[in-house]
Amino acid sequence: MTRTSDGRITAIVTVSTLLLAACGGGSRTGDDRAGAVVQDAVEAGEREDVPSALDQIDDPALPDPLVDPAEVTSGGPPPDGIPAIDEPKFEQASEVDWIADDEPVLALEIDGEQRAYPVQVLIWHEIVNDTLAGVPVSVTYCPLCNSALAFDRRVGDRLLTFGTSGLLYLSALVMYDRQTESLWSQIESRSIAGVLAGKTLDTIPVQTVAWEQWRSQFPAGSVLSRDTGHTRDYGSNPYAGYDNPDGTPFLFSGEPDPRLEPMTRVLGVERGGESVAVVLEELTSIGVTRLTVGDEPLTAWAVPGLASPLDAGTVADGYSVGATGVFDPRVDDRELTFEPTDAGRFRDTETGSTWSLTGQAIDGRLKGEQLRTVSHLDTFWFAWAASQPDTTIVEAR
């Protein structure tokens, strides 16, 4: 372990560190807090009588894997060693007192229902199988890629639940579904091996924002509780020092794209078979940039003040990075032009309305309007480039 010139601790993440995360070497149990309630869940299907890619990725009774099996490697823990949360409990945002203002939460909205998933919990579980507004979802977070994605759990006529396989593909989370035990690349949103190889999951836009940003806007929203049924040291970071711009990704067997340093933070967007990446530091410094991806106009926003969960020994104490959002800038068929404000908000130049980071107009002529949120990924360059090798790097301006 070393310390950089600015005092931040850096470390090499080892398999033993990951096993600590998997086996729960912490001291704090999921606290049985008053007010934490279980939401009504949509029941998934039973285990099907089909060969398991989790047992043998290249089982001859299965379709050929879509990736080189040699690149799917053990991350240390066994299947479900890092336990998914299958019966999540929630608290009302206004009653939560255990999240620091600048801590990251994953913000999800479906049909007007707002829910936040604290990264201090997700960093220990990686997957939450949930139901929001009647939609069965999996909310996922891969610490090694810093990638947060939410999926609709319905694939054809199947309703799936997901667990952690203990495997990595190019240092990225590999999930498995409990119904067919097919393997799924989280960052690619597709099954890479098993009965369902080639099937894709529909993504649901999710933002990583600071707790105070989300809580102030949605005080009646629901927040994933630490009452998980597992013993974990919630609030601590088992990957301390991993978020090091000069570091190297853990168990990455590929050849990193040389256009950027592997651990550079980027915002990535894919639309219509085209993908772009924007260096997060550049975007945060200017606040807004216009993108065209797959012939679709987009506006990408960033504000500083979000703690990196993968830097310090505690999630709340990480160095400051940008929180982002990507939106369709059109309202009533008129494309708006945006600029940042000094208060960490955004203003459109056409009407002067003020907008929050979640894409809602909170003041002005358009108050109450909601921009259409577009799926994007805040992640490390090595992970984005590996999943989108033809991506274009766009200068934020």
> Where residue 45 falls among pLDDT bands split at 50, 70, 90?
confident
Average pLDDT, the chain: 91
Instruction: Give residue-wise pLDDT tens across range 220-233.
Output: 999 999 999 999 99
Which of 246-255, 326-335, 352-361 is predicted with the least confidence, judged by mean pLDDT?
Answer: 246-255
Q: Which CATH class is domain 265-393?
A: mainly beta
> Where residue 2 falls among pLDDT bands split at 50, 70, 90?
very low
**Tell me, what's the pLDDT at 36?**
72
CA distance 340 to 344: 7
Q: Which amino acid is present at 265?
A: R
> Where residue 259 falls among pLDDT bands split at 50, 70, 90?
very high
**Tell me, what's the pLDDT at 325?**
98
> Where residue 12 falls among pLDDT bands split at 50, 70, 90?
very low
Name 14's Cβ contacts closer than 8 Å, sequence gap at least 6: none
Q: What does the radius of gyration of the chain's CA atoms come to, in whole angstroms? A: 20
Domain ranges for the chain, please list them: 265-393
> Where residue 18 falls among pLDDT bands split at 50, 70, 90?
very low
What is the reported pTM?
Answer: 0.91
The yes-or-no verdict on residue 175 having pLDDT over 60 is yes
The yes-or-no verdict on residue 14 having pLDDT over 50 is no
Which of 212-216, 341-345, 384-388 is predicted with the least confidence, judged by mean pLDDT?
Answer: 341-345
The yes-or-no verdict on residue 359 having pLDDT over 60 is yes
How many residues are present in the chain?
Answer: 397
Name 8's Cβ contacts closer than 8 Å, sequence gap at least 6: 241, 244, 311, 312, 319
* Cβ atoms 208, 323 nearer than 8 A: yes
> Where residue 38 falls among pLDDT bands split at 50, 70, 90?
low
CA distance 328 to 336: 9
**Tell me, what's the pLDDT at 15?**
39
Instruction: Give residue-wise pLDDT tens across range 115-160.
Output: 999 999 999 999 999 999 999 999 999 999 999 999 999 999 999 9
Instruction: Please give the residue that has the higher pLDDT: either 341 or 19.
Output: 341
**Tell me, what's the pLDDT at 34?**
45
Instruction: Give residue-wise pLDDT tens across range 263-298.
Output: 999 999 999 999 999 999 999 999 999 999 999 999
**Tell me, what's the pLDDT at 41?**
64
The C-alpha angle with vertex 280 and arms to 274 and 282, in degrees rounded to 5, equals: 105
The yes-or-no verdict on residue 354 having pLDDT over 90 is yes
DSSP-derived secondary structure for 49-115:
SS--TTT-TT-TTSPPPSS-GGGEEE-SS-TTSS--BSS-EEEEGGG--SS-TT-EEEEEEETTEEE
Instruction: Give residue-wise pLDDT tens across range 327-351.
Output: 999 999 999 999 999 889 999 999 9
> Where residue 42 falls among pLDDT bands split at 50, 70, 90?
low
The yes-or-no verdict on residue 52 having pLDDT over 70 is yes
Phi first, then psi: what are they for 123, rounded to 5°? -65, -20
Which of 27-41, 91-105, 174-188, 300-314 is predicted with the least confidence, judged by mean pLDDT?
Answer: 27-41
